[in-house]
Structure 1
Amino acid sequence: MRIVVIGGTGLIGSQVVELLRGAGHETVPAAPSTGVNAYTGEGLAEVLGGAEVVVDVSNSPSFEAGPALDFFTRSAEHLFAAEREAGVRHHVALSIVGVDRVPDYGYYLAKVAQERAVRESGVPFSIVRATQFFEFVAPVMDLSTRGTEVRLPSLPLRPIASADVAGAVARAARGEPTGSVHRVAGPEVHGLDHLGELTLAAHPDGRTVVTDETASLFAGMPDVLTGTDDPGVERAATRYEDWLTRDEGR
């Protein structure tokens, strides 16, 4: 089966490509670096020739509301036009748990618009929603560092390893279109401040965590990002503390 992965050179996409190739599928990573740009439409017709499945794990270069909305809607317009022309039979999109329940966060509104475009495209689809990746914790900590203090709110999250997300996306790509949303999350709930403490306990660098409900990108965000109120959420196996002790957690 020929599968094209939009965003196939990124954190999730590169792992999805590896998993699908390992399962015996002809898998093509598509990204600006490979001559394919969904935002402009460049290279889509060529790369989608003969493709049965398209996986979209691309991401906006900006988290600002306007640019993110423009990126996702314009990319979807180009992508689905090319998919319909190529006769693609299954579109798999990666989104975020709780994305439709955070009305005041512009980036999430842009992702909701992307999901809407998927549903209205006319191409059979599956949507995988995941919680925040383990790999996001360190960058959020860096952005929230003031001197030697890492100021983070206690917002509860159920983060997940990117490898587990890639596995869920790859399984969706190998299966039939569901026309619905599948949710995946990590095995445990932690406050964001506690995730910071766990990170520094495993890799001390002289900083300490200070709980501050007004700090970080997640300040004031409603408690809908864990999936704890949804019994249909798939629980991945990898624990954050275990991931921190591996090479990928360094």
Structure 2
Amino acid sequence: MKLAVIGGTGLIGSQVVRKLAAAGHEAEPYSMSTGVDVISGQGLAEAVAGADTVVNLTNSPTFDDASLPFFQTSMDNLLAAAQKGEAGHIVVLSIVGAERVPDAAYYRAKVLQENILKAGPIPYSIVRATQFMEFVDAVMSWTTEGDTVRLPTTPLQPIAAADVSDAVAEVAAGTPLNGALDIAGPEVFPLDDLGRITLDAHPDGRTVVTDETAGFFASVRGDALTAKGDARLAPTHYRDWLS
């Protein structure tokens, strides 16, 4: 099977490409660094030409209102190129619970991306993941002041990027779901406790203070970003990943 992985040089994309190649597929990575721009459309038609499946792992460079036009334009361009190239399947990576956080522009943008895909002319699959373990350090840095990290008690269910890439590669190599697969880590943590666990494992002089108004996740109500129903639970535990 021939697959074009757009955003194929990033954290998830590079792993997806390796795993697809190891399974015997012809998986080509494309990104800005290879001359493919999903916003201008430069190189996009050539990248997806002849691909059986197109995997879209691109992401908005910001989490603010600018993420909405990013996903609108990138999806419009991608669908047009994939239809012209006669792709039979498009896969997109999204976020568990995005539709439950309407106050956050970035989550509204991810819902928009899903809706554009669903309304498009090509069979599709959506893989929705919870927050990546690899991003916990970045989340903590957003609300660090001196030696204090302020974090709310927002419940998160962190998943390892390796487990996400396993699921994306599996779905990409399969038949279209024409629906979504939700994947999540095996444990739920309040974000402030997640910060404390991280610093206990890798102390750097900072301490965590609970602050329900701090940072990006303060706008999330309840357990909106945790998996529900028949979500697939990944095997990697956060403490094991830290070690």
TM-score normalised according to structure 2 size: 0.98
Task: Give the distance between the partners of 1:144 and 1:195, measured in 2 at CA.
Answer: 14
Which residue identity does 1:189 align to in structure 2? Answer: V
The match for 2:51 is: 51
Task: Give the distance between the partners of 2:213 and 2:63, measured in 1 at CA.
Answer: 19
The match for 1:248 is: none
Which residue identity does 1:13 align to in structure 2? Answer: G
Contact 1:213–1:220 under 8 Å retained in 2: no
Contact 1:158–1:226 under 8 Å retained in 2: yes
The match for 1:236 is: 234
Which residue identity does 2:35 align to in structure 1? Answer: G
Q: Is it true that 1:177 corresponds to 2:168 in the alignment? A: no
Contact 1:98–1:225 under 8 Å retained in 2: yes
Q: In the comparison of the two structures, how many residue pairs are matched?
A: 242
SS in 1 for 2:33: helix
The match for 1:38 is: 38
Structure 1 residues 209-229: Cα deviation after superposition (integer angstroms, max 9, x where no partner) = 1111111210131121011xx
The match for 2:28 is: 28
Task: Give the distance between the partners of 1:4 and 1:113, measured in 2 at CA.
Answer: 22
Give 1:147 shift: 1.2
Which residue identity does 1:220 align to in structure 2? Answer: S
The match for 2:101 is: 102
Task: Give the distance between the partners of 1:179 and 1:220, measured in 2 at CA.
Answer: 30
Give 1:88 shift: 0.2
Contact 2:90–2:122 under 8 Å retained in 1: yes
SS in 1 for 2:77: helix
Contact 1:6–1:57 under 8 Å retained in 2: yes
Task: Give the distance between the partners of 2:75 and 2:96, measured in 1 at CA.
Answer: 20
The match for 1:19 is: 19
The match for 1:71 is: 70
Unaligned runs of 5+ in 2: none
Give 1:116 shift: 0.8
Task: Give the distance between the partners of 2:34 and 2:193, measured in 1 at CA.
Answer: 39
Structure 1 residues 19-68: Cα deviation after superposition (integer angstroms, max 9, x where no partner) = 10111111111101001111111101111121000001110011112x10
Task: Give the distance between the partners of 1:196 and 1:126, measured in 2 at CA.
Answer: 33
Task: Give the distance between the partners of 1:57 and 1:206, measured in 2 at CA.
Answer: 35
Task: Give the distance between the partners of 1:78 and 1:220, measured in 2 at CA.
Answer: 31
SS in 2 for 1:219: helix
Task: Give the distance between the partners of 1:88 and 1:148, measured in 2 at CA.
Answer: 51
Query: What percent identity do the matched residue pairs reach?
Result: 55
Which residue identity does 1:53 align to in structure 2? Answer: T
Task: Give the distance between the partners of 2:49 and 2:218, measured in 1 at CA.
Answer: 44
The match for 1:90 is: 89
Task: Give the distance between the partners of 2:39 and 2:167, measured in 1 at CA.
Answer: 25
Structure 1 residues 170-207: Cα deviation after superposition (integer angstroms, max 9, x where no partner) = 00001100100110000000010111111101110001
Give 1:13 shift: 0.6
Task: Give the distance between the partners of 1:95 and 1:58, measured in 2 at CA.
Answer: 10
Unaligned runs of 5+ in 1: 246-250
Task: Give the distance between the partners of 2:45 and 2:189, measured in 1 at CA.
Answer: 44
Task: Give the distance between the partners of 2:36 and 2:96, measured in 1 at CA.
Answer: 28
**Divergent runs of 4+, >4 A:** none
Task: Give the distance between the partners of 1:127 and 1:180, measured in 2 at CA.
Answer: 6
